[in-house]
Structure 1
Amino acid sequence: MKKVLIVGQTLELGRTEELYGRGFSALGCEVQHFTWHEAAPSLVSGLLWDKVTWRLAWQLRAKTANQKLVEIGNQFQPDLTVVTSPDLLAPSSIQALQQHGLVFVFFTDNPLDAHHTHSNSWVKGGLILWDAALIWSRELVERLTENNVKKAVFHPFCSDVEYHFPKKQSNPAYDVAFIGNWDASRKREQYLKAIADYKLGLWGSNYWNTHCQEPALKNLCQGMCSYAEIPEILGSAKMGLNILRPQNEEGHNIRTFEIPATQTLMLSERSRELLNLFVEDKEAVYFSNPEELRNKVAYLLQKPEKIKFIAQAGYHQALKHKIADRITEIANLYQQLKSSPSSDVKVLHS
Structure 2
Amino acid sequence: MKIDKILIIGSFGQGALENFYSESFKLLRIQVFKYDIQTPFRRYLGTSILNKVAYRLGFSNKFLDNINEELIEFAAKLKPNFILVFKGMEIYPETIDALKTNTKLIANYNPDHPFEFYSRGSGNQNILNSLPKYHIHFSYSKNITDKLKTQLNTDAYTIPFGYDSSKKAKRAESYLNDVIFIGAYDNSRAKILSNFNEIGVKIYGDTKWHSRSILNPRVKEMYQNKPLYGQSYIDVTYNSLASINLLRKQNILEKTHNMRTFEVPGYGGILLTNRTDEHLNFFEENKEAFYFESVEELKDQIIYLKKLSISAVEKIKADAYKRSVNSNYSYHDRAKSLISIVDQYLS
- Gap change, CA 1:35 and 1:45, over 3 Å in 2: farther
Per-residue CA shift, 1:58-108, capped at 9, x if unaligned? 653421111111111101101111111311111111122222221111101
* Other-structure match for 1:205: 206
- Gap change, CA 1:259 and 1:113, over 3 Å in 2: same
Residue of structure 1 aligned with 2:84, choices 67, 77, 82: 82
- 1:192 counterpart = 2:197: no
Per-residue CA shift, 1:130-171, capped at 9, x if unaligned? 1121111111112222331511111101111223x3333345
* Other-structure match for 2:151: 147
- Gap change, CA 1:15 and 1:152, over 3 Å in 2: same
* TM-score (ref. length: structure 2): 0.90
- 1:323 counterpart = 2:327: no
Aligned pairs (5 A) from 1:1-350: 1-9=3-11, 11-37=12-38, 39-43=40-44, 45=46, 48-57=49-58, 59-61=60-62, 62-99=64-101, 100-114=103-117, 115-163=119-167, 165-170=168-173, 172=175, 174-184=177-187, 186=188, 188-212=189-213, 213-221=215-223, 222-249=225-252, 250=254, 251-304=256-309, 305-319=311-325, 320-339=328-347
Deviation at 1:20, TM superposition (A): 1.2
Contact 2:9 2:84 in 1 (8 A): yes
Deviation at 1:317, TM superposition (A): 2.0
More helix by share: 2
Q: Separation in 2 of the partners of 1:161 and 1:7?
A: 23
Q: Separation in 2 of the partners of 1:199 and 1:231?
A: 20
- Gap change, CA 1:59 and 1:247, over 3 Å in 2: farther
Deviation at 1:271, TM superposition (A): 1.4
Q: Separation in 2 of the partners of 1:233 and 1:89?
A: 37
* Other-structure match for 1:343: none
Deviation at 1:33, TM superposition (A): 0.6
Q: Separation in 2 of the partners of 1:120 and 1:109?
A: 12
* TM-score (ref. length: structure 1): 0.89
Q: Separation in 2 of the partners of 1:58 and 1:278?
A: 46
**What percentage of residue pairs aligned between the two structures are identical?**
25
Q: Separation in 2 of the partners of 1:90 and 1:238?
A: 46
- Gap change, CA 1:108 and 1:272, over 3 Å in 2: same
Contact 1:191 1:289 in 2 (8 A): no
Q: Separation in 2 of the partners of 1:303 and 1:220?
A: 23
Deviation at 1:338, TM superposition (A): 2.5
State the one-letter code of the partner of 1:316: K
Deviation at 1:13, TM superposition (A): 3.2
Larger mean CA deviation between 58-67 and 291-300 belongs to: 58-67
Q: Separation in 1 of the partners of 2:244 and 2:301?
A: 11
Deviation at 1:129, TM superposition (A): 1.6
- Gap change, CA 1:159 and 1:46, over 3 Å in 2: farther
Consecutive unaligned residues of structure 2, counting only runs of 5 or more, are: none
Q: Separation in 1 of the partners of 2:272 and 2:59?
A: 40
Q: Separation in 2 of the partners of 1:78 and 1:276?
A: 36
- Gap change, CA 1:159 and 1:77, over 3 Å in 2: same
Q: Separation in 1 of the partners of 2:233 and 2:44?
A: 29
Question: Secondary structure at the residue paired with 2:192?
Answer: helix
Contact 1:37 1:43 in 2 (8 A): no
The ranges of structure 1 where at least 4 consecutive aligned residues each deviate by more than 6 angstroms after the TM superposition are none
Deviation at 1:44, TM superposition (A): 5.9
- Gap change, CA 1:78 and 1:332, over 3 Å in 2: same
Q: Separation in 2 of the partners of 1:23 and 1:309?
A: 29
State the one-letter code of the partner of 2:275: R
* Other-structure match for 1:345: none
- Gap change, CA 1:47 and 1:234, over 3 Å in 2: farther
